């Protein structure tokens, strides 16, 4: 029951129900843009060819969407391939816990020295701790918004961190896989582009917002020189035909993008309001499409199995380093599904 990742439905669906409602992985509940299936089918013959090894068209499409140059675009078989690549930039890695487990896993696989610090109790960054603990020549990973808290780094704090990063010849990796779910605020790409992304790598992905985790399509941007280096170490053809070709389609779905943002905003407000009425849990605020919930009177195991019996998979959080109290993380899903979750949660807490 120690879940390293969300979305592992198969481990539970055979014992319980084939139609488990998966609240453990944080995917846009509206599903991928409707015309994508047709788009793929119309050019499916291309799966018989190697993708363009330089991904020229794809990089242009991403650059238009991110508002950067195609020479600044990084590609990955999911964001995790870029997380893996950036490990090559320095020998030392700094992680702020709790955060996405793959930062540590990939660092260890690459034999890096790992140092760490902790978020504040409200999951804001403690800049003083970071100043005290961040070594020179280190890759600093920050989820923005962070997983599992769902909170973004404030712009003012981000700029302070950036000055620290420049000062110590570090590299800041901002993992923004959940960017589009957040309320309007600063765009880190716009922000750091003014400095040619010096010592910054920004990661985005189709996985979460475009509801395509099975596609494996991550991307990002950084300065040209670092981009050239990282792209030269990436596996050749690591982006499939399906991911390559979806770049022409998904980024142009302006209506889908707008509707998704509004939908998440509405359901996030609804869930946060309703959950905050429950006794026995503490609900953390979030900028994203998932909510971290502290369990005040139940164990993770108890809650996990209660939900499972009612056909719902939630993400237990004991695998997150630096999270020393029982928690679950839930995704924001469709209105009726969120209501079902609330009903089951209420039953559990009133037991």
Shortest Å, Cβ 27 to a copy of itself: 6
Least Cβ distance, residue 46 to a copy of itself (angstroms): 6
Q: How far is the CB of 222 from a copy of itself (least distance, A)?
A: 18
Number of residues counted as binding a copy of itself (CB under 8 A):
50
93: how many CB neighbours lie within 10 A of its CB?
26
Tokens of 81: 């391939």
In whole angstroms, how close is the CB of 231 to a copy of itself at the nearest point? 12
Sole window of 125-133, 189-197, 233-241, 341-349 interacting with a copy of itself (rule: CB under 8 A): 233-241
- Does 330 help bind a copy of itself (rule: CB under 8 A)? no
Least separation in angstroms between residue 171's CB and a copy of itself is 18
Distance CA(5)–CA(316), nearest Å, equals 9
Q: Which residue of 18, 121, 236, 350 would you call a contact of a copy of itself, by CB under 8 A?
A: 236
Place of tokens 């100043």: 131
Q: Does 175 bind a copy of itself (CB under 8 A)?
A: no
Q: Is 35 in the site for a copy of itself (CB under 8 A)?
A: no
Closest distance of CB 51 from a copy of itself, Å = 6
User: Does residue number 316 form part of the binding site for a copy of itself (CB under 8 A)?
Assistant: no
Q: Is 118 in the site for a copy of itself (CB under 8 A)?
A: no
Query: What angle do the packed helices 101-109 and 79-86 form, to 10 degrees?
Result: 50
Query: Which residue in 116, 126, 129, 238 binds a copy of itself (CB under 8 A)?
Result: 238
Cis amide prior to 148 (ω within 30 degrees): yes
Q: How far is residue 279's CA from residue 167's CA, in Å, rounded to a whole number?
A: 46
Report how far Cα 58 is from the mean position of its chain's Cα atoms. 21
262 binds a copy of itself (CB under 8 A): no
Which ranges constitute the DSSP H helices of the chain?
10-13, 36-42, 56-66, 79-86, 101-109, 127-133, 155-167, 188-193, 224-233, 241-250, 254-276, 300-309, 335-350
**Whose Cβ is closer to a copy of itself: residue 43's or residue 346's?**
43
> Taking the alpha carbons of 237, 243, 249, 255 in that order, is the dihedral positive or negative?
negative
Question: How far is the first Cα of the chain from the last one, in angstroms, to the nearest whole number?
Answer: 22
Comparing CA positions, the residue from 139, 172, 132 lying closest to residue 153 is 172
Overall size of the chain counted in residues: 351
Piece of 114-122, 239-247, 252-260, 322-330 that binds a copy of itself (CB under 8 A): 239-247
Instruction: Name the residue with tokens 């403690």.
Output: 126
Q: Does 300 interact with a copy of itself (rule: CB under 8 A)?
A: no
Under the binding rule (CB under 8 A), the answer on residue 155 touching a copy of itself is: no
Part in contact with a copy of itself (CB under 8 A); list of ranges 76-84, 138-146, 162-170, 280-288? 76-84
Measure the CA–CA gap between 201 and 308, rounded to whole angstroms.
Answer: 38
17 binds a copy of itself (CB under 8 A): no
- What residues between 89 and 108 interact with a copy of itself by CB under 8 A? 102
Q: Which residues bind a copy of itself (CB under 8 A)?
A: 5-10, 22, 25, 27, 31-32, 37, 41, 44-54, 56, 77-78, 80-81, 84, 88, 102, 109, 211-216, 233, 235-244
């Amino acid at each position: 029951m120690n879940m390293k990742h969300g979305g592992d439905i198969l481990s539970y669906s055979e014992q319980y129900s084939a139609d488990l409602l998966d609240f453990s992985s944080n995917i846009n509940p509206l599903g991928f843009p409707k015309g994508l299936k047709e788009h793929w089918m119309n050019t499916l013959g291309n799966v018989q060819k190697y993708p363009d090894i330089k991904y020229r068209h794809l990089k242009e499409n991403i650059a238009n969407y991110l508002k950067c140059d195609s020479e600044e675009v990084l590609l990955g078989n999911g964001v995790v391939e870029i997380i893996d690549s950036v490990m090559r930039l320095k020998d030392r890695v700094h992680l702020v816990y709790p955060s996405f487990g793959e930062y540590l896993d990939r660092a260890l696989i690459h034999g890096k020295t790992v140092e760490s610090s902790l978020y504040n109790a409200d999951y804001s960054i403690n800049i003083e701790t970071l100043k005290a603990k961040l070594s020179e020549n280190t890759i600093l990973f920050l989820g923005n918004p962070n997983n599992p808290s769902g909170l973004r780094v404030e712009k003012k704090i981000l700029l302070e961190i950036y000055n620290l990063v420049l000062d110590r010849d570090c590299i800041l990796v901002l993992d923004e896989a959940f960017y589009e779910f957040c309320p309007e605020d600063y765009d880190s790409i716009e922000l750091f582009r003014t400095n040619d992304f010096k010592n910054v790598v920004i990661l985005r992905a189709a996985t979460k917002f475009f509801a395509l985790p099975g596609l494996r399509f991550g991307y990002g941007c950084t300065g040209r020189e670092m981009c050239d280096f990282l792209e030269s170490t990436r596996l050749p053809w690591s982006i499939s035909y399906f991911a390559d070709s979806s770049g022409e389609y998904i980024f142009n779905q302006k209506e889908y993008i707008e509707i998704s943002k509004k939908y998440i905003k509405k359901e996030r407000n609804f869930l946060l309001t309703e959950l905050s009425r429950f006794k026995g849990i503490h609900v953390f605020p979030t900028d994203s499409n998932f909510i971290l919930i502290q369990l005040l009177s139940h164990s993770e195991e108890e809650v996990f199995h209660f939900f499972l019996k009612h056909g719902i998979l939630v993400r237990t959080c004991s695998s997150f380093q630096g999270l020393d109290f029982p928690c679950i993380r839930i995704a924001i899903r469709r209105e009726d599904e969120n209501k079902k979750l609330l009903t089951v949660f209420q039953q559990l807490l009133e037991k």
